[in-house]
Amino acid sequence: MPSQREIRRRIGSARNIKQITRAMQFVAASKLRRAQESTLATRPYREKLDEVLADLAAVIGDEEHPLLAGRDLDANHSRLLVIMTSDRGLAGALNTNTVRFAAREITEHPGDLKVVPVGRKGRDAMRRARVPIAAYFEGFGERPTFADILPVARLVADDFVAGQYDRVDVIYPRFVSTLVQKPVMEQLLPIVPSEDTAGIPGGQFLFEPNPAAFLEAVLPRYVATRLYAAVLETTASFFSSQMVAMKNATENAEELIEDLTLSYNKVRQANITREMVEIASGAQAR
């Protein structure tokens, strides 16, 4: 049985861990609110952009722009996956679930495939799995900006237009609620109108100077917007998952402290009883 000193040391360590996890929980909760607001504020903009693109697709053909060009996807087609994860851990199963989702997609659809990890956790996982990495970008911190994602969008769009890839998908953890973050995959290139806007008729918008010129300006920004929205979803998912994980860790530390305190009291009581028995035995021996 551990000594009183060892149990006291364990109780002190558990209390220190509890203080750290509680502080991380509160910090993650404060950052989550800002990240959640940014994520929810971006969704209406993206939905309206999908609506405009659906209207454009109804009045012009795929040949108007290379980012709209559909390609025959056979067994030998080339494909690129952009995988969004965080740089840091201590966020529960968030990164693990995202990496497993990506690994399942890679396994079920083999072929000429490369990945672009955004975040250290995704990069490390792809390296361990020996998946070819076309490029790597670190995470964009607690407050990602639209300018941060432009290099990723430019790289992806340029390689697609150059014919290096026939399809580009993005995988990221979608923020559903504080307790739910669901890994999803969305086709990024070639650009296809969202299914939610499939029934929108053409001609509801007026484009100046003409639809083709407007398309030339909006499509590169559309790619960057899709990636930026994925980054915001990942950021909000990270802080929500971290907050829940640190809350669970704090509760586990409290339970551990209670168990250790009970064990300490038992050992202390046993030591007191033994000393009393020794004193009584010594007195009788006299």
What are the pLDDT digits (tens) for 39-84?
A: 888 888 888 887 777 777 666 655 556 666 665 555 567 889 999 9
Count Cα atoms within 13 angstroms, Cβ side, for 75. 0
Residue 3's CB is within 10 A of a number of other CB atoms, namely 11
First to last CA, the chain: 32
Q: Tell me the three state secondary structure of residue 204.
A: coil
Q: What is the pLDDT of residues 110-165, one digit of tens each?
A: 778 999 999 999 999 999 999 999 999 988 888 888 999 999 999 998 888 888 88
Burial 165-186 (b: 16+ CB within 10 A, else e): bbbbbbbbbbbeebeebebeee
Q: What is the pLDDT of residues 179-195, one digit of tens each?
A: 889 999 998 888 776 55
In whole angstroms, give the CA distance from residue 229 to residue 221.
12
Q: Tell me the three state secondary structure of residue 46.
A: helix
For tokens 């609506």, name the residue.
51
Higher-scoring residue by pLDDT: 198, 5: 5
Mean pLDDT of the chain: 84
pTM of the shown model: 0.83
In order of start, what are the domains of the chain with their CATH numbers? 22-244 (3.40.1380.10)
Instruction: Say if residues 77 and 166 touch (Cβ distance below 8 Å).
Output: yes
Residue 237's CB is within 10 A of a number of other CB atoms, namely 32
Burial 246-276 (b: 16+ CB within 10 A, else e): bbebbeebeebbeebeebbeebeeeeeeeee
**pLDDT of 280:** 72
Cβ neighbours for 281, distance < 8 A, ≥ 6 positions apart: none
Band (pLDDT 50/70/90 cuts) for residue 2 is confident
**pLDDT of 235:** 92
Higher-scoring residue by pLDDT: 99, 69: 99
